[in-house]
Chain A
Amino acid sequence: MSAVQIASVNTPSSEPDRASWYEASARQRIRSLLDAGSFEEFIGPEQRELSPHLGIFNLPAQFDDGMIVGRGRLRGEPVFIAAQEGRFMGGAFGEVHGAKLTGLVRAARDATSIPLLILFDTGGVRLQEANAGEVAIAEIMRAIIEARLAGVKVVGLIGGRAGCYGGGSLIAGCCSALAISEHGRLSVSGPEVIETNRGVEEFDSKDRALVWRTMGGKHRRLIGAVDAFVDDTMSAFRDAAVRLIESGPRFGADVLDAEQARLEDRLARFGTCADALDVWTSAGVDAAAAVPALPSEEFIALADKVRSIRHDAR
């Protein structure tokens, strides 16, 4: 079988490096991230491995089931790459979608020398295939830990329309490093789910500022939930991916001990804070209320002053 190029429409502007990650499709992100012409897809759309379950709900399937997996080169070095299409079924994990990523992670585990990039854009488990999606997430998590024990770096990139929610956020928590943009959100329960279950006083899902303060990229950077905050551009994500592939020690008990301490410390410092503004103030940010409006460059400088990033505790 020969490698095929899948061309995509809506080619980015004449400055592809500055193209928005958020606005791009999964395939555009892969093409912009990797060295030109280096991407080779596994089980591409022409294989027509559709979801066997969506038809029961009279829902249209997508040829790649919203998960694109393959390999390519990043600044000359081989990488495995997986990208979720957030506009198809909310990027959610179904049987085939999940299995493609499971297989790729297992390959990374077995190869041991090729890092893995996961481009998250997901609302979590696909409800129409809930049980298959849920167990797939658990399989992926286990495979990632097996891969990391073998020395593989698994870098997650978060900045798409669907965010990184539900089971996706748990997979992200198994990665060796994460990069997030302002648009990115990382959370287990989504805003609507919290509001439906606990009421609008607990969480007003329509309050966008609240959503971003609580789950968004800037907050995750300030609280130490991610390793890098990046501008919403292809080049920023690429630079972060290159950097994060090299960062951090091999996974093991020491890393988990360090993470235990990191998370216990977080609870001790911020466990009684009512809102992100209180967390940021406690963390040493002078003008917390001004953080959401800060442009990326200034925010990154502020965040670096307030909290240096540890890469050995994830």
Chain B
Amino acid sequence: MTLDKILACLFPNGHDVQNSGGVLLGSGSLKDGRPVDVIGVADRTPIGVDEAIVVARRVRDAVRRGGDGPILVLVDSDSQRMSKRDELLGLSEFLAHLAKNLILADLQGRHTVGLLYGHSAAGAFIATALSTRTLVALPGADPAVMDLPSMSRVTKLSLDVLQEKAKSTPVFAPGAENIGRVGAILAVWDENASLADQLQALVVGSGDNGDRRDRLGKARKGRPKAADIAERVRGLALHRQ
């Protein structure tokens, strides 16, 4: 689905989302009439300091405008921008700043929903899609921590070997299926059904903003140990007061 089609399906009553150089901004409304603030990154744009600071400001502005509607984060990005300039200027702070804005917005009552419709990778993926409370994907979305050829170079394992190992575990290779298995993506939407309905269903009665991704990863057998380890540490730490 093209971005235009996605937006039209999400907001059959209209929207005003604009794309300025790969940064998305605008709004629409849910079927129940509540407004939806929309931000995002499009066209597989890498997220550098210049993009992150703008998107972060948009999130903050949306929160400042008030209301209790969700904030929808549309994602089709590259990885973070890999350049001397971006690291020189402190890219880690800019990406963390964007993530913090999304996380705070959600914790203060604006349900953040990530919709991954294209690519995303590494630091950009963390700062956008993975910083929402609820992350869903459209068929064809292809997130990655790192592409396999690069992984092959770094690990010094051949591409063939990596592809073979990827058949027996979802824990390292790219793809929405694998990343869903470890609990990071709640669901893949049906692109032939109403996106507006699917969005509405997500935000209905969504008062619980606890992070359940590790439990989901355990249930889906993608992360067999994480949830239990985290809970054991938490219990031990609180018990010995």
Query: Which A residues lie at the B interface, using CB under 8 A?
Result: 40, 42-43, 49, 52-53, 56-57, 69, 71, 80, 95-96, 98-100, 102-104, 106-108, 110-111, 125, 127-139, 141-143, 145-146, 149, 166-167, 169-174, 186-189, 193-194, 196-198, 202-203, 214-215, 219-220, 223, 225, 252-253, 256-257, 259-260, 263-264, 266-267, 270-271, 273, 275-276, 279, 314
Q: Decide if the interface of chain A is mainly helix, strand, loop or mixed.
A: helix
Q: A138-B126, A214-B84 are in contact. Are A42 and B146 (CB under 8 A)?
A: no
**Range, interface on chain B:** 35 or more
- Cβ–Cβ contact B53 & A173, under 8 A: no
Across-interface contacts of A196 in B (CB, < 8 A): 150, 153
Alpha-carbon distance between A257 and B214 when the two chains are bound, in angstroms? 31
Across-interface contacts of A194 in B (CB, < 8 A): 82-84, 87
- Cβ–Cβ contact A267 & B237, under 8 A: no
Q: Which of B84, B91, B214, B238 contacts A110 (CB 8 A)?
A: B238
A selection of 12 A-B contacts at a CB cut-off of 8 Å is: A57-B157, A80-B237, A107-B237, A128-B171, A129-B171, A129-B172, A131-B179, A131-B222, A141-B100, A169-B123, A174-B100, A223-B89
Q: Which of B131, B178, B238 contacts A131 (CB 8 A)?
A: B178
- Cβ–Cβ contact B87 & A215, under 8 A: yes
Q: A128-B172, A131-B182 are in contact. Are A263 and B237 (CB under 8 A)?
A: no
State the Cβ distance, A62 to closest chain B Cβ, in Å: 15
Q: A127-B151, A143-B211, A188-B123 are in contact. Are A103 and B232 (CB under 8 A)?
A: yes
The answer to whether B224 has its CB under 8 Å from any CB of chain A is: yes
Q: A57-B165, A127-B172, A149-B107 are in contact. Are A134 and B126 (CB under 8 A)?
A: yes
**Interface of chain B residues 46 through 66 with chain A (CB within 8 A):** 49-50, 53, 56-57, 60, 63
- Cβ–Cβ contact B126 & A173, under 8 A: no
The answer to whether B88 has its CB under 8 Å from any CB of chain A is: yes
Across-interface contacts of B50 in A (CB, < 8 A): 267
Q: Which of B60, B89, B103 contacts A257 (CB 8 A)?
A: B60
Alpha-carbon distance between A214 and B234 when the two chains are bound, in angstroms? 37
Alpha-carbon distance between A49 and B233 when the two chains are bound, in angstroms? 12
Closest 9 CB pairs of A and B: A173-B96, A103-B233, A107-B237, A169-B92, A103-B230, A138-B130, A130-B145, A99-B229, A99-B226
State the Cβ distance, A68 to closest chain B Cβ, in Å: 11
- Cβ–Cβ contact B225 & A49, under 8 A: yes
Across-interface contacts of A219 in B (CB, < 8 A): 88
The residue in chain B whose Cβ has the minimal distance to the Cβ of A125 is B145
- Cβ–Cβ contact A271 & B240, under 8 A: no
- Cβ–Cβ contact B232 & A131, under 8 A: no
Q: Which of A132, A187, A266 contacts B171 (CB 8 A)?
A: A132
Q: Which of A42, A99, A142, A263 contacts B227 (CB 8 A)?
A: A99
Query: Which B residues lie at the A interface, using CB under 8 A?
Result: 49-50, 53, 56-57, 60, 63, 80, 82-84, 86-97, 99-101, 103-104, 107-108, 122-123, 125-127, 130-131, 145-146, 150-151, 153-155, 157, 165, 168-173, 178-179, 181-184, 211, 213-214, 217, 222-227, 229-234, 236-238, 240-241
The residue in chain A whose Cβ has the minimal distance to the Cβ of B168 is A56
- Cβ–Cβ contact A103 & B237, under 8 A: yes
Q: A98-B226, A256-B100, A263-B93 are in contact. Are A53 and B184 (CB under 8 A)?
A: no
Across-interface contacts of A171 in B (CB, < 8 A): 96
Q: Which of B157, B226, B238, B240 contacts A102 (CB 8 A)?
A: B226
Alpha-carbon distance between A202 and B85 when the two chains are bound, in angstroms? 9
State the Cβ distance, A72 to closest chain B Cβ, in Å: 11
- Cβ–Cβ contact B170 & A71, under 8 A: no
Q: A131-B172, A196-B150 are in contact. Are A43 and B82 (CB under 8 A)?
A: no
Across-interface contacts of B131 in A (CB, < 8 A): 138, 141-142
